[in-house]
Amino acid sequence: MNGIINLLKPPGMTSHDVVAVIRRLTNVKRTGHTGTLDPGAAGVLPICVGQATRVAEYVLAMDKSYRAELTLGSATDTEDGSGKIVAERAVPAMTVVHIQTVLTQFLGKRMQTPPMYSAVRIDGEKLYERARRGETVERPARPIDIYQIELIRIGENTILFDVTCSRGTYIRTLCCEIAQALGTVGHMSYLIRTHVGPFQLEDALSLEECASRQAAGELENAMLSVDAALINLPMLSVSAEDAVRVINGIAVPLPTIVAEGTLVRVYGPKQEFLAVSLVEQGRVQPRKVFHSR
């Protein structure tokens, strides 16, 4: 069984918990997720099964979209609703125009410091493990990119917004930064991931649906193909003769103009997916082969 499950992660489970459920359902040991969602968050969590685990790194690098709720007036140690309140501040009067103006200030490339309650490793230990011991350590800021941010609704001391961003963006931290820019403090009170690259929320399967499809022998048919994770890579087709070479890990001539150093997905004459390859010195050098003879 090989493929990618576009899974709807429920709130209250860790991403690893979800992987364990899918591993038991499929009885495939090589199963993994493609980017952690906080236990309290829900939404799209692509799960790679079997050979598909070899493309997980490409899914990790994909852009992601979220719908988030920011509650103003109280900050927590975890930056979300699961933590202890560590600060409170009055919420100033705000207009829709003012909030929209503040949100647009966060568009584009910037640096963001990961929260203490995160899985980032420093000196070989996850930050949340140190945070649980009451420690606070210096965390290097990391580059992120906010492509789109849109105000959806204003409630009583709450702001609901949509955001599309690069890998590594912490929406919890973004919520705290927005609250600060609005002249108060805040925390993320709700989060759902609505898409990861081509994987959309409306197409995602719940764990219950996965279980029922597996019981009916239909789960594998519901999986997306391995190359579904590679749609951002240019596609190249090679001849039957060159397909044999690619399958055997041998470089072949570049069939069309592609920039040097570009990763590409290579297909055979019957549009069978063969490999992820790198364009080097005018040739296509296989890096990961997925089709065998």
Q: Tell me which amino acid residue 275 is.
A: A
On whether the CB atoms of residues 201 and 193 are closer than 8 A, the answer is yes
> Per residue in 105-124, pLDDT tens?
999 999 998 876 766 777 77
The rounded distance, in Å, linking the Cα atoms of 31 and 51 is 9
Q: What is the pLDDT at residue 5?
A: 95
Q: Which of 3-17, 116-130, 214-228 has the lowest mean pLDDT?
A: 116-130
Supply the residues annotated as catalytic.
Answer: 38
CA dihedral 167, 83, 79, 14 (to 10 degrees): 10
On whether the CB atoms of residues 258 and 236 are closer than 8 A, the answer is yes
In this model, does residue 29 exceed pLDDT 80?
yes
On whether the CB atoms of residues 229 and 58 are closer than 8 A, the answer is yes
> Per residue in 181-208, pLDDT tens?
999 999 999 999 999 988 999 999 999 9
Give the rounded percent of residues in the chain with a pLDDT score beyond 70. Answer: 98
Domain 3-61+198-228 in CATH 1.10.10.410? The answer is no
Q: Where are the alpha helices (DSSP H) in the chain?
A: 15-26, 56-60, 96-104, 127-131, 171-181, 207-215, 219-222, 240-247
Mean pLDDT of 157-180: 96
Q: What is the pLDDT at residue 292?
A: 65
The rounded distance, in Å, linking the Cα atoms of 291 and 2 is 12
In this model, does residue 84 exceed pLDDT 60?
yes
Q: What is the pLDDT at residue 1?
A: 82
The rounded distance, in Å, linking the Cα atoms of 5 and 259 is 32
Give the rounded percent of residues in the chain with a pLDDT score beyond 90. Answer: 72
Mean pLDDT of 18-33: 93
The rounded distance, in Å, linking the Cα atoms of 201 and 290 is 27
- Record the tokens describing residue 122, joined without a space: 């420093």
> Per residue in 241-288, pLDDT tens?
999 999 999 999 988 888 888 999 999 999 999 999 999 988 999 999
Enclosing H/E stretch for 189? strand 186-196
Question: Please, what CATH class does the domain formed by 64-196 belong to?
Answer: alpha beta
On whether the CB atoms of residues 157 and 49 are closer than 8 A, the answer is no
Architecture of the domain made up of 233-289: Roll (2.30)
Mean pLDDT of 72-89: 94
- Domain range list for the chain: 3-61+198-228, 64-196, 233-289
- Record the tokens describing residue 220, joined without a space: 């594998």
Q: What is the pLDDT at residue 229?
A: 87
Distances from the Cα of 110 to the Cαs of 70, 153, 197, in angstroms?
20, 25, 21
64-196 and 233-289: identical CATH topology: no
